[in-house]
Amino acid sequence: MANLKPFSGIRYNPEKVGDIATVISQPYDRVRHGLQDKYYDLNEYNVVRMIKGKEKEGDHVNENVYTRARNFLSKWLAEGVLKYEEKPALYVYHQQFELNGETIVRKAVIGALELARFEEGIVLPHEKTHDGPKMDRLNLTRATQAYYGNIFILYPDAQNKVDAILDAAIADRQPDVDVRELFEKDVRQMLWVVTDEDVLAAVHAEFAPKTGLIIADGHHRYETAIAYRDEQRKKFPNAPADAAFNYLMVALVSMSNPGLTILPTHRLIFDYKDMTVEQVLEKAAEYFEITKVDDRAALEARMDSKIGAMGSFGMVTKSGVYALDLKSAAVMEELAPSHKKSWQTLDASILHKLILEHIMGISEATIDAKEGIEYLREPDLGYERAAEDESAFLFIVNATRMEQIKACTVDDEKMPQKSTDFYPKIVTGLAILDVSPDTTI
């Protein structure tokens, strides 16, 4: 069912580019807030020039970020800056980092996964998507006929058999790539190239019967790849089944991997003037037990004690810091009757539907458009703004748990945007998948 195959990846040649750390990047959607300039300055061959190039005054249909990306790819291949892997390979990919004083290693395997529509049940989404990013990625794929970043996909493997096969394959081998990326500089990125045919066959066999793989990160790009595949099939109706455009480059992580880490994403509401803090608290008291706490440390200690509980939040305002604990989940059945319990009991759903929409009167459309709302992994800036600005509300949440993601996916429930933050991000530029029409997998 899940057809995972090795591929001849296009990889950076260290003899030409120097330190590989200077040519890789975060996923395209995180390259913002000046980070694009930093990547450009790191190395003239940095992958950001292809995945999120700079727009120029006077750009037009024949000269734009997409055509420049195509030209970079062609030029760098011709110059040997980029080189094809000599043999089809799977790429073992480990990310090592520290969290709460513990060293954690998240293990993944990078390969070419045959695309399947969500209704086929092989690969499933867990979050809603928006059209804008999909069109941007489709234009890049049309222009360059390549995939640069990995879709991060979770797969069921209760005994971690795939990891065991790959651990044995790389035992006593130093990584082929061992670097730290600029933005998440505390994460060690390690890559091993695996070409042994017996190992490749064993991994393929383990994946073959699997269904219910879940997209953790990269929903837009997965849907873009489906659209591109369909376009190519119309253009090349006689193409073989193993044509590369039928596949997508993915980084697969076992749902049972002990290194799988999900961080919370906090919400900062700003420029909000419909209600005062006192009015919000008065209305919220109908649904929540509200406790005023001394400070940030007290709030976060309380939030830690509520991990695994439903509907516990922190609310930080200029007039004080408050802990909110939901009295009853019955209100979510009233507010979201079309959703199943797996969705109704998510903290992100309760925050968006009950607090933001019902209590504060912020429309769903406004939230979807990200107007007056910012999503924060690190809440420091949110605390600072809320302390100074009467129109700012910072909501502190606990992380969504893996069992909740599984439940929503099984129920075909799309979680609210930014419900999950899988840490660390899968970096871009370690390998590139050629999906030109004459390429096969």
pLDDT per residue as tens digits for the range 396-426: 999 999 999 999 998 989 898 889 999 999 9
pTM of the model: 0.91
Residue 41 sits in the same domain as residue 178:
yes
Residue 256 sits in the same domain as residue 305:
no
Residue 84: strand, helix, or coil: strand
258 Cβ neighbours under 8 A, 6+ residues apart: 104
Contact 139, 66 (CB under 8 A): yes
pLDDT per residue as tens digits for the range 346-373: 999 999 999 999 999 999 999 988 899 9
Say which CATH number the domain at 414 has. 3.30.1760
**Is residue 439 one of the residues assigned to a domain?**
no
What is the domain extent for residue 400? 266-419
Number of other residues whose CB lies within 10 A of the CB of residue 338: 5
Tell me how far apart the alpha carbons of residues 398 and 250 are, in angstroms, rounded to a whole number: 28
Token pair in block for residue 68: 């420049």
Instruction: Give the total number of structural domains in the chain.
Output: 2
Residue 100 sits in the same domain as residue 213:
yes
Number of other residues whose CB lies within 10 A of the CB of residue 240: 9
Provide the pLDDT for residue 417. Answer: 83
Residue 236 sits in the same domain as residue 157:
yes
Residue 282 sits in the same domain as residue 199:
no
Provide the pLDDT for residue 418. Answer: 87
Token pair in block for residue 412: 């075909």
Walk along the chain (441 residues) in steps of 10 and give the mean pLDDT of each run: 97 97 94 91 97 92 94 98 98 95 96 97 82 82 97 96 98 96 94 98 98 92 96 97 98 96 96 96 97 96 94 97 96 96 97 97 91 94 95 97 92 89 95 97 95
Residue 199 sits in the same domain as residue 295:
no
Tell me how far apart the alpha carbons of residues 300 and 277 are, in angstroms, rounded to a whole number: 20
Provide the pLDDT for residue 329. Answer: 92
Contact 211, 121 (CB under 8 A): yes
Q: Which residue has the tokens 């529509």?
A: 117
Residue 236 sits in the same domain as residue 368:
no
**Is residue 68 one of the residues assigned to a domain?**
yes
Contact 156, 255 (CB under 8 A): yes
**Is residue 289 one of the residues assigned to a domain?**
yes
Write the burial class of residue 107 (CB in 10 Å: 0-12 exposed, 13-18 middle, 19+ buried). Answer: buried
**Is residue 8 one of the residues assigned to a domain?**
yes
pLDDT per residue as tens digits for the range 98-107: 988 899 999 9
Residue 217 sits in the same domain as residue 360:
no
